Chains A and B, each alone.
Chain A
Amino acid sequence: MNAVREPEPGVELRISAEMRRLFQAYRAGVQEPVADPEPEPEPEICAAPPPAEPVPMPDFDWQTLSLRRDGARPLHCRAVPLIELACETPEGDRHEFSVLLTDRDEIGIVCRFLPEGLSARPVHTAALCRSADALQSALDSHDPAMGFGLCDAQPGPMQAAKAAQAAFDALVASAAMTWRPNPSTPRIFA
């Protein structure tokens, strides 16, 4: 069997104006998915208490964000960053880790692996969470090593994949050790 001609390295996208228009219309009418949706309320068996006073949202510098994910539509939210950390390895690969608070009381998590050159693919993970378990699950799902793929089964990519995972783990550990909540920040998952 003849070998298939290899395409140009990188990503090629050819998108028509009609496709963009269809996607914009689709995005405008679709509910955003949430990693851990709020549970259905229990059926009431007694008179409901009077509605609580609405808690005014703090006067944060809310930003409208688009959170890219692999394999799925980007998530959209209005959020304020709680944590933003990044590091670059000696090879030039960049790791980013962000934790956000959205105006719907969700915690957003954004993890990115942006390799230098074409040695690997970027890895994008994002989730909007309403529980600590969902947050942990989203964090566990980010695997920079998956960006390296099966490149001719050589030891180099394997070692680089392990190094990428170790670098991200160190970044998250650094975030956990150094971040201190601002007293004005609402308690998370109280």
Chain B
Amino acid sequence: MMMQTATPFERGGDRADIRSTELVGDVSDFTLQRRGLRPLTFSGSELCMAMSFIPGNPFWYELNVYRTNMGKFVASVDLYYRDGNGLERKHAWECDSFADVMDSLEQYDAGNDVSVSMLPDDPSLSLGDLAAHAFAMRARVEEARRQFGFLVGELLHDLDGA
């Protein structure tokens, strides 16, 4: 049953910069690269893709959900850096159910995607340098969590309003 919903402010969330299209997910063979793990290989179809990018941002996220021919689900999260200096982060994992996919996306901690760019025991670093590095790293962690949370919220909001 489709639930008719409204929002307290109907204007909220309607943005011209959102491009939502229907995906025709043909059955295919997929090999998803993973950092530190063997690639995840399966046959199935892509269920959705979500990506957001704001000009000037140093990185952005893309997430995908697949359904395998074995009746399971696969979620993947890719982090791209604009300048190419940071390594792309690629995560993919298998879920037994659709609910597990939703839970895993809601619980994904994008802060873990931020790499450590300095060694805290470097004797050449002053206390001020350390503080500056710590501040910058904290900002990057918060930004990664914020970007990913926004993207997940955008996807779930679109699905919820269908």
Contact = CB atoms under 8 A, between A and B. Distances in A.
Interface string A81-93: 1001010000000
Interface in B109-162: 139-140, 142-143, 145-162
A27 B99 contact: no
A169 B11 CA distance: 21
Classify the interface of chain B: helix, strand, loop or mixed: mixed
Contacts of B152: 70-72
Contact of B155 (A13, A18, A94, A98): A13
Contact of B13 (A3, A9, A84, A122): A122
A1 interface: yes
Q: Assign chain A's interface to a size class.
A: 35 or more
Contacts of B18: 10-11, 13
17 contacts: A7-B51, A7-B53, A11-B50, A11-B51, A14-B21, A14-B50, A15-B21, A15-B49, A16-B46, A18-B45, A23-B159, A30-B99, A66-B5, A71-B150, A76-B3, A114-B15, A151-B57
Interface of A: 1-4, 6-20, 22-28, 30, 63-74, 76, 81, 84, 86, 94, 96, 98, 100, 110, 112, 114, 118-124, 146-147, 149-152, 157
